[in-house]
């Protein structure tokens, strides 16, 4: 059998062939939908990861700044303690009146 003659009506398809074609289209649509959902989920997870990384970086900066402030305060306290120690030692020394 060759191709239908020009102007001839298209060959009739059976109900089984139509159902098979519909099932195939539905399967392709489900697969496409599943891929779209997976890409969206991946995009959402990437965004969430980027947000968490930015939050951690911000927290690390705050902690680093607080640590520097604490070091500065400790240094100042050590300097002040040393100044007080020098003043106490000076106060303990006997005064010399040019003798």
- Whether the model clears a pTM of 0.75, i.e. scores above it, the answer is no
- Predicted pLDDT of residue 4: 57
pLDDT digits (tens, 9 = 90+) for 77-90: 999 999 999 999 88
Q: Tell me the C-alpha distance between 48 and 54, whole Å.
A: 10
Dihedral sign (CA 14, 20, 22, 24):
negative
């Amino acid at each position: 059998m060759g191709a239908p003659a020009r102007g001839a009506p298209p060959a009739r398809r059976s109900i089984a062939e139509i159902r098979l074609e519909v099932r195939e289209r539905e399967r392709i649509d489900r697969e496409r939908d599943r891929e779209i959902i997976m890409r969206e989920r991946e995009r959402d997870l990437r965004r969430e990861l980027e947000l968490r990384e930015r939050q951690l970086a911000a927290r690390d900066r705050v902690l680093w700044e607080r640590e520097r402030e604490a070091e500065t305060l400790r240094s100042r306290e050590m300097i002040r303690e040393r100044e007080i120690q020098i003043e106490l030692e000076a106060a303990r020394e006997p005064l010399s009146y040019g003798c």
